[in-house]
Amino acid sequence: MRICFVASSYPKHAADGSARFIRSLAEGISDLGHTVHVLIPFRSDLRLEDNRVPLHTFRYAWPSALEVMGYAGAMDSDTRLRPVSYLLAPAFAAAEAAALLRLHRRHRFDVVHAHWVIPNGVVAAAVAALVQRPLVVSLHGSDIFVARGSAALGRVAAPAFRQAAAVTACSPELEQGALALDADPRRLRLIPWGADPAVFQQGAEMRQAARSALGLTPDQFAVLSLGRLVQKKGIAYLVQAMAAVAAAAPGSVCLVAGDGPELPALRAQAAALGLEERVRFLGSVPWVDAPKLLAACDVFAVPSIHDENGNVDGLPTTILEAMAAGRPVVATQVAGIELAVEHGVHGLLAPEKSPDALAHALLLLYTQPRLRQQLGANAGQRVRDELNWHNVARQFVAIYEQVLAGHAQP
């Protein structure tokens, strides 16, 4: 099969973790013997040579400083669309549609697969109808959030849901959001994301070297959080929880890897709690260094929340990567997290926005190293058995085959 991904974000180079799941899925489908092309907005720092699948870009504004759509640039602090996004949307949609049409004429795709219903699903729906090809739309979180937050954008998204032969979501919450926007329940598919076990396999030597590089002693209890520092990640609740953890666990430390608009407030919060030595902000970390950080930590924390506007993650891929590394997870019971982490089996789950519950879970794993080891081993096994990109790619190929069979029927 020949598939065209239409996306508004993609890793800019091999070390970039942004929208890594798009690249991993494209490569997984390619590894199964299919041809995948990816259409994305132009960026001056995009390195096309770093990819195993063909990348195609399109321009929609000049000078390049105005090209702020995609790559998380269209949203302000991951909570609302920036005003400039509305001004650029017509040019973006027209340029993307023209580029997709040109690509199809050259490569004759069997399936068009749009990631994020807004804006790409809307554009791809029009082109797929024109060239009479089946459309698959994958939801990722922010697209459903903005569509449900605006009646106008909800109406914009409606044609994509009507046109799509299949709609995929990585969490039950996204499924419900799609249904609220009149998606056909018969076409909805729930598919959690995956991780690559080979990338995150580690041994004692890697752990020792990684901990040494971070200045951690062999017995020091280390909690790791990794991701963009926006409100829906819930890091403020983790910092608050560390006050109780630090009091009960001598020498314990929380490593916060990532950057974003919440960083100044989080630094101030840690200082106000007297945790400058216990909560260490590492800044933005290249994706290729994530395995080392995961090797160094004892527990991976994902305190995701519904932010003040109701926005929430779909299924953070960092959870799956931590599980692939054999790390137990302490996470909240939101979004698609429970699709990956079973409480007491792969990690411990807590209610959202509860520092006390997070602290209790972290201290339980601090005081019970055997439990920590068992949960981590279970987590790694689950990724090897189920939640890996090979399995995810096979599920998408099955969807493509189904929609093609339905498309061929008179």
Domain with CATH 3.40.50.2000 in the chain: 2-194+388-408, 197-385
Please say whether the structural domain 2-194+388-408 has been given the CATH code 3.40.50.2000: yes
Give the DSSP letter of residue 116: S
In the structure encoding, which two tokens stand for residue 57, read together? Answer: 């870009």
Blockwise average pLDDT, block size 10, the chain, 410 residues: 96 86 96 97 82 91 76 62 77 95 97 95 96 96 82 87 95 91 93 94 90 94 96 96 96 96 97 96 93 97 92 90 97 93 98 98 97 97 97 98 79
Kindly state the percentage of the chain with pLDDT values over 90: 74
φ and ψ at residue 178, rounded to 5 degrees = -65, -40
Report whether 41 contacts 67 (CB < 8 A).
Answer: yes
**What is the structure's pLDDT at 67?**
77
- For 197-385, the fitting CATH number among 3.40.50.2300, 3.40.720.10, 3.10.290.10, 3.40.50.2000 is 3.40.50.2000
Residue 232: closest CA among 301, 334, 326: 334
| Cis status of the peptide bond prior to 63, with omega within 30 of 0 | yes
Report whether 174 contacts 139 (CB < 8 A).
Answer: yes
Q: How far apart are CA 216 and CA 209, in angstroms?
A: 10
Q: How far apart are CA 380 and CA 386, in angstroms?
A: 10
Largest CA distance in the chain: 70
In the numeric block, the tokens 């991904």 are attached to: 5
| Cis status of the peptide bond prior to 197, with omega within 30 of 0 | no
**What is the structure's pLDDT at 410?**
43
Query: Around Cβ 276, how many Cβ atoms within 10 Å?
Result: 12
Positions of E strands within 26-154: 35-41, 55-58, 75-76, 80-81, 111-115, 135-138
Tell me if residue 386 falls in helix, strand or coil: coil
Q: How far apart are CA 229 and CA 283, in angstroms?
A: 10
Inter-axis angle of helices 151-163 and 142-149, to 10 degrees? 130
